Amino acid sequence: MKISAVIITWNEQRNIKRCIESLEQVVDEIVVVDSFSTDDTEKICRSLNVRFIQNPFHGHIEQKNFALDQASYDYVLSLDADEALSQTLRESIKQVKEHAEEPEKAYEMNRLTNYCGKWIYHCGWYPDRKIRFWNRKLGKWGGINPHDKVIMEQGIIPFRLHGDLLHYSFYSIDEHVNQINKFTSISANALYGEKTTGLVWIKMICSPFVRFIRDYFVKQGFRDGLYGFVICKNAAYSRFLRYAKLYTLILTRKNSERNSYKSRS
């Protein structure tokens, strides 16, 4: 088995070295697709013997599928720049590579997230199972931007690997809040097909409340201390903001259509 690792980047000088080094001696090539970073991401990548490609960013799903197409081998291991393989996961992948006569079509792994220096084991964040190692002929990136996921052909059941995919998410609460604002705008635009303001209004009120109850109490976010509370509260706020922005988009469109109708009359 030959494995291509693919990573997409934009201004990831803080994370990319750790990500690439975790892949060394596990994969046969490392391909980095960069969205024209303005920091030292390119310099770091080129110093670490990877294939570095630049491509304009048109969306997370689009960029990751572009990265898949750049791989030399059909079995791909796709990581985000702020992720890295744990030692146990490295060994699991090496075992598959060296000993699997008939490899599975897809492999999934648990993702363990580090938030402001603390590993989070609850809040619905762990085990956050992800397909990240698969035969690219049988699956592509899909979902709704920016929340992408690997979608395999129907009937394919992924094999679970031992070990964790380590996710170094946010170094400060400010970073988390800034990403929520950015991602909810992307998500609201992606969901813009919803036409019923009443339905969006109900989701805007109910969804944040349900999300907090689920993550903090049912998923035991309280066991992660202060940061567990912050994560669950921000998850609820993210739901509210997504539907508030979507509601605003729909109202803006309706007002525009109404004004256009009046002008024609």
| 94 Cβ contact list (under 8 Å, min separation 6) | 25, 26
- Helices marked H in 100-136 — which ranges? none
How large a percentage of the chain has pLDDT more than 70?
97
Q: Give the confidence band of 195 by pLDDT, cuts at 50, 70, 90.
A: low
**Does the pLDDT of residue 162 top 80, yes or no?**
yes
Intra-chain end-to-end CA distance of the chain, in Å? 68
Reported as a single tens digit per residue, the pLDDT across 58-116 is 999 999 999 999 999 999 999 999 999 999 999 999 999 998 788 999 999 999 999 99
The chain-wide mean pLDDT, for the chain, equals 95
How large a percentage of the chain has pLDDT more than 90?
87
User: pTM to 2 decimals?
Assistant: 0.92
Q: Give the confidence band of 261 by pLDDT, cuts at 50, 70, 90.
A: low
pLDDT at position 245 is 95
Mean pLDDT of the region 179-199: 85
Q: Which of 180-184, 187-191, 217-221 has the lowest mean pLDDT?
A: 187-191
pLDDT at position 150 is 98
- 8 DSSP β-pair partners: 33, 80
Mean pLDDT of the region 155-177: 98
Residue 163 has phi, psi (to 5 degrees) of: 100, 165
Q: Give the confidence band of 254 by pLDDT, cuts at 50, 70, 90.
A: confident
**Does the pLDDT of residue 190 top 80, yes or no?**
yes
**Does the pLDDT of residue 48 top 80, yes or no?**
yes
Reported as a single tens digit per residue, the pLDDT across 95-109 is 999 987 889 999 999
Residue 163 three-state SS: strand
Q: Give the confidence band of 243 by pLDDT, cuts at 50, 70, 90.
A: very high
**Does the pLDDT of residue 208 top 90, yes or no?**
yes
Rounded Cα distance between 265 and 241, Å, is: 36
DSSP, res 137 = G
